[in-house]
Amino acid sequence: MYSVYKIEVNGVCLYIGHSKDLKRREYQHNYLYKKGAKKALYDYLRECEYEGYIELIEIGKYKKKVEAKRYEMYLILQYLFIETDNPLFQLKQKIANISDR
């Protein structure tokens, strides 16, 4: 099963992704953040001096990877095209390549 997840900090959705193994992906996010990896999400968290643990919140499950990727892209594009000054819409990621692979 493939999971679509989001990362929220203080009620603000910052990242949407998909993974076959959520626990492993959660570990990877935390490792890369602590290691100092350059990525919009991690740079933003360091800028805010975030000291917590990055937790993944599952928002959907799919049998096929392509279904998970399509839902992930739908959510990312939905967030990016909302015209608002609302701080709850602050994705810190690039738009992923759109493909069915």
**Element of type H or E holding 34:** helix 22-35
Residue 54 is assigned to a structural domain of this protein: yes
Residue 7 is assigned to a structural domain of this protein: yes
Q: 81-87 long-range CB contacts below 8 Å, 24 or more apart?
A: 87/12
Domain interval for residue 28: 2-80
Residue 52 is assigned to a structural domain of this protein: yes
Residue 12 is assigned to a structural domain of this protein: yes
What is the count of structural domains for the chain?
1
Residue 49: φ, ψ to 5° = 55, 40
pLDDT tens, position by position, 21-49: 999 999 999 999 999 889 989 999 998 88
Residue 86 is assigned to a structural domain of this protein: no
Residue 69 is assigned to a structural domain of this protein: yes
Residue 43 is assigned to a structural domain of this protein: yes
pLDDT tens, position by position, 54-96: 999 999 999 999 999 999 999 888 877 776 666 655 777 766 6
Q: What is the pTM of this model?
A: 0.85
Residue 101 is assigned to a structural domain of this protein: no
